Amino acid sequence: MTKIQGISDYASQLFTINLPNGETLQLSLTYMPLQTGWFMGVTYKDFVLNTMRVTTSQNLLHAFRKLLPFGIACITVGDREPFFAQDFQANNSALCILDEDELDALDVFLGS
């Protein structure tokens, strides 16, 4: 599991993330104050996910497990949702990239 570094409280951010297999993905993060939360977009090869709310999750991308060789976990302090613009910068929440081995272990653990 690799923590995504450099997430700030800016409302719109774009990251290019190097995956363990040498490929890259584009991750966009947008804070929407009227929705009181963070939203993400993911682009990887031909796969495009435009908008998904960031919630506390072992793998936000689990629904796409058969299409993607990675996952994204959102880990939070106190098991609460990342509601505030400062949550990632203040280390109250973290986004982490999961590799294929971690996804396999999670599938076994969850029985899916």
pLDDT digits (tens), the chain, 112 positions: 999 999 999 999 999 999 988 999 999 999 999 999 999 999 999 999 999 999 999 999 999 999 999 999 999 998 799 999 999 999 999 999 999 988 888 877 777 6
Question: In total, how many domains does the chain have?
Answer: 1
Instruction: Please say whether the dihedral angle defined by the alpha carbons of residues 56, 59, 62 and 63, taken in this order, is positive or negative.
Output: positive
Give 55's contacts (C-beta < 8 A, 6+ positions apart): 74, 81, 82
Q: Determine the structural domain holding residue 102 and report its residue range.
A: 9-110
Is 45 part of a structural domain of the chain? Answer: yes
Whether the Cβ atoms of residue 94 and residue 88 lie closer than 8 Å to each other: yes
Is 1 part of a structural domain of the chain? Answer: no
pLDDT for position 112: 64
Closest CA to 54 of 78, 81, 79: 81
Is 38 part of a structural domain of the chain? Answer: yes
pLDDT for position 90: 96
Is 81 part of a structural domain of the chain? Answer: yes
Is 35 part of a structural domain of the chain? Answer: yes
